[in-house]
Amino acid sequence: MLQTWTSAQVRAAEEPLLALGVPLMERAAFALHVRTAAVLRERRRAVAGARVVVLAGPGNNGGDALYAGALLARRGVEVHAVVTAERVHEGGLSALLQARGRALRVDGSVDDAAALAAGADLVLDGLLGIGSDGSGLRGAAGALVQAILDLGRPYVVAVDVPSGLGVDDGRRDGIALDADLTVTFGGLKPGLLLPPGTHAAGRVELVDLGLDLAGVPAVVRLEPGDVADLWPVPASDAHKYTRGVLGVVAGSRAYQGAAVLTTSAAVQAGIGMVRYLGDVGDVVVAAHPEVVVGHGRVQAWVFGPGVSPDDAGQRRRIEYAFEHVRERGEAAVVDAGALELLPAHVGPHAVLTPHAGELARVLTQRGETVDRAAVEAEPLRWARRTHELTGATVLLKGPVTVVAGAQGAAYAQADAPAWLSTAGAGDVLAGLLGALLAGRVDAIHEDPSLAAALAATAALVHGRAAHRANPGGPISARAVADALPATIAELLGR
Ligand SMILES: NC(=O)C1=CN([C@@H]2O[C@H](COP(=O)(O)OP(=O)(O)OC[C@H]3O[C@@H](n4cnc5c(N)ncnc54)[C@H](O)[C@@H]3O)[C@@H](O)[C@H]2O)[C@@H](O)CC1
Ligand SMILES: Nc1ncnc2c1ncn2[C@@H]1O[C@H](COP(=O)(O)OP(=O)(O)O)[C@@H](O)[C@H]1O
Ligand SMILES: [K+]
| Inter-helix orientation angle 60-73/90-98, to 10° | 10
Q: Do 233 and 213 fall within a single domain?
A: no
Give the distance, in angstroms, between the CA of residue 11 and the centroid of all CA atoms in the same chain. Answer: 23
Nearest to 378 by CA among 187, 130, 191, 133: 191
* Residue 36 φ/ψ, nearest 5 degrees: -65, -40
Domain end point (choices 167, 189, 220): 220
Cβ atoms 161, 132 nearer than 8 A = yes
* Residue 127 φ/ψ, nearest 5 degrees: -75, -50
Distance from C-alpha of 27 to C-alpha of 84, rounded to nearest angstrom: 24
Please tell me whether residue 181 adopts helix, strand or coil conformation: strand
ipTM: 0.93
For the CA of 398, the closest atom of ligand 2 is: 27
Q: Do 326 and 184 fall within a single domain?
A: no
Q: Do 189 and 315 fall within a single domain?
A: no
Name beta bridge partners: 105.
83
Give the model's pLDDT for residue 77. 98
Residues 6+ apart with CB under 8 A from 62: 56, 83, 88, 89, 92, 126, 127
Please determine, for residue 19, whether its predicted confidence score (pLDDT) is greater than 70.
yes
Q: Which ligand is nearest to the CA of 187?
A: 1
Q: Is the dihedral of CA 96, 102, 107, 110 positive or negative?
A: negative
Residue 427 marked as a ligand binder: yes
Residue 470 marked as a ligand binder: no
Total domain count for the chain?
A: 2
**DSSP characters over 350-374:** EEE---HHHHHHHHHHTT----HHH
The pick from 421, 428, 432 for probing ligand 2's pocket by mutation, whose C-beta has the most ligand atoms within 8 angstroms, reads 421
CA–centroid distance, residue 163 to ligand 1 (Å): 10
Give the model's pLDDT for residue 123. 98
The pick from 302, 397, 413 for probing ligand 2's pocket by mutation, whose C-beta has the most ligand atoms within 8 angstroms, reads 397
Nearest to 215 by CA among 393, 380, 388, 3: 3
Q: Do 197 and 268 fall within a single domain?
A: no
CB-neighbour burial class of residue 414 (10 A; exposed 0-12, middle 13-18, buried 19+): middle
Q: Do 213 and 229 fall within a single domain?
A: no
**Residues contacting ligand 2 via CB (< 6 Å):** 355, 397-399, 401, 416, 418, 420-421, 423-427, 429, 462
Give the model's pLDDT for residue 107. 84
Please determine, for residue 50, whether its predicted confidence score (pLDDT) is greater than 80.
yes
For the CA of 11, the closest atom of ligand 1 is: 1
Q: Do 186 and 48 fall within a single domain?
A: yes
Please determine, for residue 310, whether its predicted confidence score (pLDDT) is greater than 90.
no
pLDDT in tens, 138-157: 999 999 999 999 999 999 99
* Residue 41 φ/ψ, nearest 5 degrees: -65, -45
Q: Do 13 and 150 fall within a single domain?
A: yes
Q: Do 209 and 313 fall within a single domain?
A: no
Q: Do 406 and 465 fall within a single domain?
A: yes
Query: Residue-wise over 376-405: b if at least 16 C-beta within 10 A, else e?
Result: bbbbbbbbbbbbebbbbbbbbbbebbbbbb
pLDDT in tens, 206-242: 999 999 998 899 999 999 999 999 999 998 888 888 8
Please determine, for residue 309, whether its predicted confidence score (pLDDT) is greater than 80.
no
| Inter-helix orientation angle 425-439/256-268, to 10° | 40
Please determine, for residue 16, whether its predicted confidence score (pLDDT) is greater than 90.
yes
- The single-letter code of the amino acid at 277 is L
Q: How many CA atoms lie within 13 A of 421 on its CB side?
A: 9
The pick from 335, 351, 355 for probing ligand 2's pocket by mutation, whose C-beta has the most ligand atoms within 8 angstroms, reads 355
Instruction: Give the domain CATH number at 382.
Output: 3.40.1190.20
pLDDT in tens, 86-95: 999 999 999 9
CB-neighbour burial class of residue 196 (10 A; exposed 0-12, middle 13-18, buried 19+): buried
Peptide bond into 190 cis (omega under 30): no
Task: Pick the residue whose CA is nearest to atom 7 on ligand 2.
Answer: 399
Domain end point (choices 201, 220, 239): 220
Query: Across residues 431-453, what is the average pLDDT?
Result: 97
Query: Across residues 405-419, what is the average pLDDT?
Result: 98
Nearest to 284 by CA among 481, 464, 486: 481
Pairing of strands 156-159, 350-352: unpaired
**Is pTM, for the whole model, over 0.90?**
yes
- The single-letter code of the amino acid at 432 is L
Please tell me whether residue 327 adopts helix, strand or coil conformation: helix
Give the model's pLDDT for residue 238. 85
Q: Is the dihedral of CA 267, 272, 276, 282 positive or negative?
A: positive
Q: Do 421 and 360 fall within a single domain?
A: yes
The sheet with strand 2-3 has its strands ordered as: 2-3, 220-221, 410-413, 401-404, 393-396, 350-352, 331-334, 300-303, 245-249, 273-277, 292-293
Cβ atoms 53, 123 nearer than 8 A = yes
The total of other beta-carbon atoms located within 10 Å of residue 75's CB is: 14
Q: Do 406 and 464 fall within a single domain?
A: yes
What value does the CA radius of gyration of the chain take, rounded to a whole number of Å? 26
Query: Across residues 438-458, what is the average pLDDT?
Result: 97
Q: What percent of the chain has pLDDT over 70?
A: 100
Domain region containing 151: 2-220
Longest dimension (CA), the chain: 80
Residue 401 marked as a ligand binder: yes
Give the model's pLDDT for residue 281. 97
Task: Pick the residue whose CA is nearest to atom 42 on ligand 1.
Answer: 25
Instruction: Give the domain CATH number at 147.
Output: 3.40.50.10260
Q: How confident is the model at residue 494 (pLDDT cuts 50, 70, 90)?
A: low
Q: Which ligand is nearest to the CA of 478?
A: 2
Mean model confidence pLDDT for the chain: 97
Please tell me whether residue 307 adopts helix, strand or coil conformation: coil
Residue 426 marked as a ligand binder: yes
Please determine, for residue 462, whether its predicted confidence score (pLDDT) is greater than 80.
yes
* Residue 68 φ/ψ, nearest 5 degrees: -65, -40
Domain end point (choices 220, 244, 275): 220
Q: Do 208 and 235 fall within a single domain?
A: no
